[in-house]
Amino acid sequence: MYEVAIIGAGPAGASAALFTAKAGKKTLLIDNDKGMTRRGWYENYYGIAEVDGPTLVETGHKQAQKFGAELVSDQAVSVEQSGEGFKITTEGGASYEAKHVILATGAVADLASASGVETKDGTEPRIKTVVAVDAAGRTNVNGIWAAGTVAGVSVHAIITAGDGAKVAINVISELNGERYVDHDVLKKG
């Protein structure tokens, strides 16, 4: 069983996976590569002068995979409660079990609705429906969280990536039973 399964590997999902995998949590990332991030050109991502969407997405995937996150290309079609966690079923016919699930599906909230997760009207331009979350990223279903555009944050890559990181830190903290921080100290040459 995975400790964390993340659906959607745009900035929100891949950033969440980077944190959970780096924290040593067995992490699955499922993505159908239909997100919005690849289509953009970014000059407002702090710390990066400019970057094209495909490079931003692919670099994020590599960062998460470097720490052991498993990336699967498929579409998640349902998330159901199963045992002590959830069973995620995909269009490709696979199923995966995870203790916690983070929905990071960008502009689409269909999976949330299909899985009994409460949604509400979006407030950002062109984002019709979002998942209802509390300040930590929790949904109405204990163990299902949401991050990024689908969680209703401002539709900017640095914000969605930061929101994915925030939710991941909250999931890790819950798994560990204490607040978690991930700080690396500068290595002196």
Contact 65, 135 (CB under 8 A): no
Q: Is 32 in the site for ligand FAD (CB under 6 A)?
A: yes
Q: Is 49 in the site for ligand FAD (CB under 6 A)?
A: no
Calpha distance 77→92 (Å, rounded): 9
Shortest Å distance, C-beta 64 to ligand FAD: 12
Among 12, 21, 28, 131, interactor with ligand FAD by CB under 6 A? 12
The residue (of 30 and 165) whose beta carbon lies closer to ligand FAD is 30
> How far apart are the C-alpha atoms of 48 and 56, rounded to whole Å?
10
How many residues at the interface with ligand FAD, by CB under 6 A?
A: 34
- Sorted by sequence, the CB contacts under 8 Å of residue 52 that are 6+ apart come out as 40, 41, 42
- 146-165: which residues touch ligand FAD (CB under 6 A)? 148-149, 155-158, 160
Q: Which is nearer to ligand FAD, 77 or 175 (CB)?
A: 77
Q: How far is CA 123 from the centre of its chain?
A: 20
Would you count residue 28 as binding ligand FAD (CB under 6 A)?
A: no
Q: What are phi and psi of 6, to 5 degrees?
A: -120, 130
| 3-state SS, residue 186 | coil
Q: How far is the CB of 169 from ligand FAD (least distance, A)?
A: 17
Chain mean position to CA 48: 21
Tell me how crowded residue 79 is: count the other CB atoms within 10 A of its CB: 25
Q: Which of 1, 26, 40, 67 binds ligand FAD (CB under 6 A)?
A: 40
111 binds ligand FAD (CB under 6 A): yes
Give the residues lining the site for ligand FAD (CB under 6 A).
Answer: 7-13, 30-37, 39-40, 42, 44, 75-76, 104-108, 111, 148-149, 155-158, 160
